[in-house]
């Protein structure tokens, strides 16, 4: 049986997690199809067709899918799912919003946030903020899965030559509509896919200091910027900077944690980073237990020094 | 308007859980249990809607073992009016919880169900969306602001890259995110009052719901440990290590 991956995209380009979900699907085996739902999203479908391993792209182009409203998208996925053994999506805000709705329409369980594929019906997923890994086996005919991007190296975005097939679309449910959207445009790399991340916590003091101290370092490194929950709650930075159990899960090559104590919930989001650097004035801070390199001292002195030394 | 709020009893967020030696799960004996933090936020939001005159009754629901009654008493002390325990010794997975909730919604006819976005034990982030599907209701997940007016809820959601505001028709499902509000503490007088509020007990059988788990846990293991950190003396030493040892610069 074939496997279906739901693409996340901005109508033109695929979002990073999509190629990781495709990589997970490749491990399951079977012919790989990608569903692109959106409005005027042919370019995204063409991008999906080029991803290595993809055999066919299903293009559902209708205004009902413009804002990814799950009330409109889930019924389409549900109808298509009958032809597939597995339906996968990245465990992003988009995927987490949509997939459980699909699973319930299909009367199947969802396997959330998988980090490994053991076999066609058995997967590994973190529980308790990543303090335990559970191996779970699904008894359902169709497996509905969200994929944690850090568990799978992204499939190559070129090399494929899949066909793109337009499919019948479904109507607007009339139950929901988008009123507005505030998406912060940034020239920095996306947090979830960045190779380097500079992350600040409550120790930054306030938003102005967060920016004044950390932006020059991030600029030098070409890094994305992240934060702890405390920094977000205090309004230093927007909510989507939050790294952790209930924010973004990241695993860059380099993660620099500045003025972050290292609560379990924060570690859950970054402890798979390749190299972790911690800067904190408290030598007992838990962050040092996961840091490859720790530097004890005042961040307001250390970070500018570090920026200058690079 | 009636609001239903499911509250889950979970291992307290301050506890560092340990995996059992036999790999069947995590150690739950003598571990502090609390209400799932997101569900405290849900209760708080419901209470605020009641204080604002939008809601008239708040019903807290918990599913699981007898001790979930403690979680329900906390919800009552925070301001819920009555509580329902769906008692079961079975491992209740999100699809089963959603089906049980649907059965209760069919009886109670609320206009809103407010759930947490995620239970911090299974980290599933599924139940609200599943319930919305089963009921055919709209959903607004990861809410950071809720305004109810004219048969609709306007909900601001935390999404990747920023915020989005949706209008959803009532009845509807909302799941809460961290920034929605700061839950109040239950005061002693309210804890005393909560003891007298009604708490009904039912079962999956009485609700006619099959809760057989669809996922079997084969094993639970500890994640690989990061090896102990190295402390460096100064910025120069750090840069040297990053360049020449870790080779990430
Ligand atoms: C349900 C739930 C979900 C959560 N989800 C998340 C999540 O996804 N992500 C997350 O991050 N948290 C999450 N949390 C919160 C978490 O428990 C911690 O409260 C939070 O991570 C603490 O943030 P912090 O390290 O910035 O602040 P603090 O713990 O206050 O630490 C600040 C650190 O800065 C240091 N510092 C202060 N000044 C200086 C200075 N001048 N120089 C150097 N160091 C300095 C201090 O020594 C201290 O270690 C969650 C909590 C709950 C209950
Ligand atoms: N056993 C339960 N009892 C009551 N509410 C639950 C239960 N399980 C899940 N929920 C609700 O569903 C939300 C999301 O849980 P989950 O989908 O398991 O991450 C929780 O925040 C609760 O509001």
Q: Which residues have a Cβ under 8 Å from the Cβ of B87 and sit 6 or more positions away?
A: B64, B65, B66, B68, B201, B202, B203
pLDDT at B229 over 90: no
Nearest 10 degrees: CA dihedral of B137, B140, B145, B149?
-30
Check: CB of residue A86 under 8 Å from CB of residue A35.
no
Q: Are strands A116-119 and A122-127 parallel, antiparallel or unpaired?
A: antiparallel
User: What mean pLDDT value characterizes chain A?
Assistant: 97
Q: How many Cβ contacts (< 8 angstroms) between chains A and B?
A: 253
Backbone φ, ψ for residue B203 (5° rounding)? -140, 160
- The predicted model gives B29-39 an average pLDDT of 97
Measured between CB atoms, which of B129, B215, B223 is closest to A100?
Answer: B129
- The predicted model gives B3-13 an average pLDDT of 98
Collapsing DSSP states into helix, strand and coil, what is residue A97? Answer: helix
Selected residues 207-246 of chain A with any CB under 8 Å from a CB in chain B: 229, 232-233, 238-240, 245-246
> What pLDDT is stored for residue A211 in this prediction?
98
pLDDT at B179 over 90: yes
Cis check: omega of the bond before B171, within 30 degrees of 0:
yes
Copy the structure tokens of residue B70. Answer: 């403690």
Indicate which atom in ligand 1 lies nearest the CA of residue A282.
47
- In sequence order, what are the beta bridge partners of B158? B163
- The predicted model gives B60-86 an average pLDDT of 98
Copy the structure tokens of residue B54. Answer: 């939008």
User: What mean pLDDT value characterizes chain B?
Assistant: 97
> What pLDDT is stored for residue B227 in this prediction?
80
User: Which residues in chain A touch residue B166, judged by CB atoms under 8 angstroms apart?
Assistant: 69, 176-179
DSSP string, A233-270: HTTSS-GGGBBSTTSB----SEEEEES----HHHHHHH
Compute the distance between CA of residue B47 and CA of residue B87 in angstroms, rounded to an integer: 25
Compute the distance between CA of residue B153 and CA of residue A258 in angstroms, rounded to an integer: 39
- Would you say the C-alpha torsion B106, B108, B113, B119 has a positive or negative sign? negative
Compute the distance between CA of residue B68 and CA of residue B211 in angstroms, rounded to an integer: 18
Q: Is A66 exposed, middle or buried (0-12, 13-18, 19+ CB in 10 A)?
A: middle
Looking at the complex, does the CB of residue A169 fall below 8 Å from at least one CB of chain B? no
- The predicted model gives A234-243 an average pLDDT of 96
Indicate which atom in ligand 1 lies nearest the CA of residue A260.
25
- The predicted model gives B30-39 an average pLDDT of 98
Q: How many CA atoms lie within 13 A of A205 on its CB side?
A: 10
Task: Output the pTM of the full model.
Answer: 0.97
pLDDT in tens, A50-99: 999 999 999 999 999 999 999 999 999 999 999 999 999 999 999 999 99
Measured between CB atoms, which of B16, B137, B165 is closest to A264?
Answer: B16
CA A47 from chain centre, in angstroms, equals 19
Compute the distance between CA of residue B243 and CA of residue A293 in angstroms, rounded to an integer: 12
Compute the distance between CA of residue A293 and CA of residue A31 in angstroms, rounded to an integer: 44
In angstroms, the separation between the Cα of residue B193 and the nearest Cα of chain A is 32
Collapsing DSSP states into helix, strand and coil, what is residue A305? Answer: helix
Selected residues 9-48 of chain B with any CB under 8 Å from a CB in chain A: 11, 13, 16-17, 19, 26, 38
Looking at all shown ligands, the one closest to residue A213's CA atom is 1
Pocket of ligand 2 (CB under 6 A): B 6-8, 36, 38-39, 61-64, 92, 94, 97, 115-116, 118-119, 122, 124-128
Give the angle B133-B137-B139 at the CA atoms, nearest 5°: 80
pLDDT in tens, A144-198: 999 999 999 999 999 999 999 999 999 999 999 999 999 888 889 999 999 999 9
Check: CB of residue B31 under 8 Å from CB of residue B85.
no
> What pLDDT is stored for residue B228 in this prediction?
67
Helices (H) and strands (E) in chain A, counts: 8, 16
User: Which residues in chain A touch residue B139, judged by CB atoms under 8 angstroms apart?
Assistant: 70-71, 97, 101, 176
> What pLDDT is stored for residue A186 in this prediction?
85
Q: How far apart are the first and last CA of chain A?
A: 52
* Closest to A247 measured CA to CA, from B152, B161, B61, B131: B161
- The predicted model gives B168-195 an average pLDDT of 97
| Assembly ipTM | 0.97
> What pLDDT is stored for residue B241 in this prediction?
97
CB contact under 8 Å between A113 and B123, yes or no, is yes
pLDDT at B2 over 70: yes
pLDDT in tens, A209-235: 999 999 999 999 999 999 999 999 999
- Ligand 1 near A150 CB (within 6 A): no
Q: Which residues have a Cβ under 8 Å from the Cβ of A35 and sit 6 or more positions away?
A: A4, A5, A6, A7, A57, A58, A60, A77, A80
Category of B215 on φ-ψ map: left (φ > 0), alpha (ψ -120 to 50) or beta: beta
**Alpha carbon of A241 to ligand 2 centroid (Å):** 25
- The predicted model gives A249-264 an average pLDDT of 97
pLDDT class for B226, splitting at 50, 70, 90?
A: confident
């Amino acid at each position: 049986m074939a496997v279906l991956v739901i693409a996340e995209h901005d109508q033109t380009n695929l979002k990073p997690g999509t190629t990781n979900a495709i990589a997970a699907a490749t491990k399951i085996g079977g012919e790989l199809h990608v569903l692109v739902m959106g409005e005027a999203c042919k370019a995204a479908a063409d991008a999906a067709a080029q991803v290595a391993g993809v055999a066919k792209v299903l293009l559902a182009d209708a205004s009902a899918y413009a804002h990814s409203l799950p009330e409109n998208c889930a019924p389409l996925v549900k109808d298509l799912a009958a032809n597939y053994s597995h339906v996968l999506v990245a465990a992003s805000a988009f995927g987490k919003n949509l997939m459980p709705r699909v699973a319930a329409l299909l009367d199947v369980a969802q396997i959330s946030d998988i980090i490994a594929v053991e076999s066609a019906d058995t997967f590994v997923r973190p529980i308790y903020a990543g303090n335990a890994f559970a191996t779970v086996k699904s008894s359902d005919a169709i497996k509905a899965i969200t994929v944690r991007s850090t568990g799978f190296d992204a499939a190559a975005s070129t090399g494929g030559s899949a066909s793109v097939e337009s499919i019948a679309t479904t109507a607007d449910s009339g139950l929901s509509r988008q009123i507005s959207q505030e998406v912060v445009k940034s020239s920095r790399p996306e947090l979830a896919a960045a190779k380097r991340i500079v992350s600040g916590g409550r120790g930054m003091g306030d938003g102005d200091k967060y920016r004044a101290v950390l932006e020059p370092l991030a600029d030098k490194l070409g890094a994305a910027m992240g934060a702890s929950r405390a920094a977000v709650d205090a309004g230093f930075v927007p909510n989507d900077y939050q790294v952790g159990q209930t924010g973004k899960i990241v695993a860059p090559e380099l993660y620099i944690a500045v003025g972050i104590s290292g609560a379990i919930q924060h570690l859950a989001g970054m402890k798979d980073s390749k190299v972790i650097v911690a800067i904190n004035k408290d030598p007992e801070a838990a962050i040092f237990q996961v840091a490859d390199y720790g530097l004890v001292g005042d961040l307001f002195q250390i970070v500018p020094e570090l920026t200058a030394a690079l | 308007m009636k609001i239903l709020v499911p509250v889950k009893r979970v291992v307290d967020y301050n506890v560092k859980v340990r995996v059992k030696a036999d790999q069947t799960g995590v150690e739950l004996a003598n571990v502090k249990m609390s209400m799932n933090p997101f569900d405290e936020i849900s209760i708080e939001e419901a209470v605020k809607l009641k204080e604002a005159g939008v809601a008239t009754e708040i019903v807290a629901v918990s599913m699981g073992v007898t001790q979930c009654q403690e979680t329900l008493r906390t919800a009552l002390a925070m301001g819920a009016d009555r509580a329902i325990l769906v008692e079961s010794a079975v491992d209740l997975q999100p699809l089963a919880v959603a089906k049980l909730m649907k059965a209760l919604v069919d009886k109670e006819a609320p206009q809103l169900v407010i759930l947490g976005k995620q239970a911090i034990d299974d980290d599933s982030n599924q139940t609200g969306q599943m319930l919305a599907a089963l009921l055919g209701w709209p959903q607004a997940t990861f809410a950071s602001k809720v305004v109810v007016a004219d048969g609709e809820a306007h909900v601001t959601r935390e999404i990747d890259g920023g915020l989005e505001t949706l209008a959803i028709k009532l009845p509807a499902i909302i799941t809460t995110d961290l920034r929605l509000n700061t839950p109040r503490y239950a005061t002693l007088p309210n804890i005393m009052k909560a003891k007298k509020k009604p708490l009904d007990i039912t079962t999956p059988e009485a609700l006619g719901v099959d809760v057989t788990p669809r996922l079997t846990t084969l094993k639970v293991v500890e994640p690989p440990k990061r090896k102990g950190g190295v402390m460096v003396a100064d910025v120069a030493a750090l840069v040297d290590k990053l360049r020449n040892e870790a080779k990430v610069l």
